Amino acid sequence: MMSRLLPAVSGRVPGVPPTPAMARVVGLLAHRWFSGAFRGPLQVIRCPAPQLHVSGPAMAASQEDFAKAMNQVKLLKEDPGNEVKLKLYALYKQATEGPCNAPKPGMLDFILKAKWDAWNALGNLPKETARQNYVDLVSSLSASSCSQVTPAADKKQAESDSLVVTSEDGITTIRLNRPAKKNALTTQMYRDIMRALEAASEDSSRITVLTGSGDYYCSGNDLSNFKDIPPDKVEERAQSSAVLLRDFVDCFIDFPKPLIAVVNGPAVGISVTLLGLFDVVYASDRATFHTPFSHLGQSPEGCSSYIFPKMMGPSKAAEMLIFGKKLTAREALAQGLVTAVFPDDTFQKEVWARLKAYAKLPPNAMRIAKRLMRHQEKEKLHAVNAEESRVLAERWVSDECITAIVAFLSKKAKL
């Protein structure tokens, strides 16, 4: 595709070498055009992606993604070059107006002709596919543009008491950091993780890791989140928590880069269910995987009610999600929930060596592979997440749940 566009940019007739004079004129005009001196429809050109030839509405980006991509183009740190700008222009026109029906400009009108050729070359490419390709191209440009940030500026992105976010060697690491509370997730931590994921999706890192500090990976939702709610606010709090949960899980569903869980120890509740939305899960042989939802009068979340039965079969999923069976790391590996298990004493060394090597791979190729693997299911996952969140809001105000939480908070019960 790139080479098919080259003649359009140079103003050449394919197969006929340009004369030096023609090349000079084209170069000058192209410079004016692309440097903004040209006032015309190109001013609205926004970056796109190489033609991926992934077609059909199933791959279509939303209007919102498209609008975001148009804004992203303005933030590019590097000029993407004329060839790419032509692609962006063509895809923008195709996405917004459909196939090129404009009259062909004259041979000497080099710039208009280059633009026309680029647009016309898209033929009958559906608007939705053009939109998706535009979004992909912008995303690939943003990634490579971002990766030129200086390492020093890139090293540390955020730090708070309960969440530590660092970025190094192409890896953004989001570390749960409440070891004294087994890394239980407070309401603030859900919000901070969402923010960290959003930042990681746009920073220069190539892969993103979630892990825990201390002996636990995470003990799930902090049950103190349910403390001190005035009786007349219980329903309202359940509804707002359901919205938080839905938004939180949506961030994982939509996360565009490879996402890796480094499960350093036991995992409970939502920290287990979310694993189905990670691309790779590495576990220490000390890790366990526990989803005691029925014990707590609650119900599964994190899209596990859909992903787990598909992943491990309905009856193994039922043992976990209905009966709260705790899996060892090896059992979780056998069920496909975990990618690989490492001895605890070499866990960190082996995992990080592997991740550092992965983080050297071309970022766009990794993102595209992830999108291709995940895209078909996205809509379904959002629907599952919305339904699970709605049902949980009902469970949180049920007698079964309130009794279980009171028992834990009054230290009468533990898992």
Ligand X SMILES: CCCCC/C=C/C(=O)SCCNC(=O)CCNC(=O)[C@H](O)C(C)(C)COP(=O)(O)OP(=O)(O)OC[C@H]1O[C@@H](n2cnc3c(N)ncnc32)[C@H](O)[C@@H]1OP(=O)(O)O
Least separation in angstroms between CB 173 and ligand X:
22
Going by DSSP bridges, is the β-strand pair 171-176/259-263 parallel, antiparallel, or unpaired?
A: unpaired
Under rule CB under 6 A, residue 269 binds ligand X: yes
Going by DSSP bridges, is the β-strand pair 280-284/340-342 parallel, antiparallel, or unpaired?
A: parallel
Q: According to DSSP H, which parts of 313-362 are helical?
A: 314-321, 329-334, 347-358
Instruction: Give SS3 for 272.
Output: helix
Under rule CB under 6 A, residue 246 binds ligand X: no
- Residue 344's nearest CA partner among 276, 287, 268, 269 is 287
Q: Give the number of residues in contact with ligand X, rule: CB under 6 A.
A: 22
Quick note: the x/- pattern for ligand X over 286-325, rule CB under 6 A, is ----------x-x--x------------------------
- Measured CA distances, 283 to 216, 268, 328 (Å): 12, 14, 10
Q: Please, which residue, 153 or 409, has the CB nearer to ligand X?
A: 409
Query: Among 222, 279, 331, 388, which residue interacts with ligand X (rule: CB under 6 A)?
Result: 222
Q: Which stretch binds ligand X (CB under 6 A): 15-23, 144-152, 241-249, 347-355?
A: 241-249
The answer to whether the CB of 165 falls within 8 A of the CB of 196 is yes
Q: Please, which residue, 8 or 189, has the CB nearer to ligand X?
A: 189
CA angle 351, 355, 359 (to 5 degrees): 175
Under rule CB under 6 A, residue 253 binds ligand X: no
Under rule CB under 6 A, residue 407 binds ligand X: no
CA-derived radius of gyration, the chain: 25
Q: Which residue is nearest to ligand X (CB)?
A: 269
Least separation in angstroms between CB 195 and ligand X:
16
Q: Please, which residue, 211 or 219, has the CB nearer to ligand X?
A: 219
Distance CA 57, CA 125 (A): 11
Distance CA 71, CA 179 (A): 40
**Residues 120-179 close enough to bind ligand X by CB under 6 A:** none
Q: What is the DSSP letter of 40?
A: S
Least separation in angstroms between CB 177 and ligand X:
14
The answer to whether the CB of 24 falls within 8 A of the CB of 127 is no
Query: Among 170, 220, 256, 258, which residue interacts with ligand X (rule: CB under 6 A)?
Result: 220
Query: Among 52, 244, 318, 386, which residue interacts with ligand X (rule: CB under 6 A)?
Result: 244
Least separation in angstroms between CB 273 and ligand X:
8
Distance CA 303, CA 218 (A): 18
Under rule CB under 6 A, residue 260 binds ligand X: no
Q: Please, which residue, 126 or 269, has the CB nearer to ligand X?
A: 269
Least separation in angstroms between CB 233 and ligand X:
15
Under rule CB under 6 A, residue 331 binds ligand X: no
Under rule CB under 6 A, residue 245 binds ligand X: yes
Q: Which stretch binds ligand X (CB under 6 A): 80-88, 103-111, 218-226, 231-239?
A: 218-226
Q: Is 374 exposed, middle or buried (0-12, 13-18, 19+ CB in 10 A)?
A: middle
Beta strands in 320-403 (DSSP E): 327-328, 340-342
Least separation in angstroms between CB 222 and ligand X:
4
Block residue for tokens 């895809």: 91
Least separation in angstroms between CB 283 and ligand X:
17
Distance CA 245, CA 266 (A): 22
What the block records as the tokens of 155 is 């090293």
CA angle 106, 15, 13 (to 5 degrees): 5
What the block records as the tokens of 30 is 């192209």
Under rule CB under 6 A, residue 270 binds ligand X: yes
Q: Which stretch binds ligand X (CB under 6 A): 62-70, 159-167, 240-248, 279-287?
A: 240-248
**Residues 180-199 close enough to bind ligand X by CB under 6 A:** 181-182, 184, 190
Count of helices and strands (H, E) across the chain: 16, 10
Strand order in the sheet with 267-268: 267-268, 288-290, 327-328
Q: Which stretch binds ligand X (CB under 6 A): 73-81, 96-104, 128-136, 407-415?
A: 407-415
Under rule CB under 6 A, residue 334 binds ligand X: no
Query: Among 51, 177, 205, 221, which residue interacts with ligand X (rule: CB under 6 A)?
Result: 221
Instruction: List contacts with ligand X (CB under 6 A).
Output: 181-182, 184, 190, 219-224, 241, 244-245, 268-270, 296, 298, 301, 408, 414-415
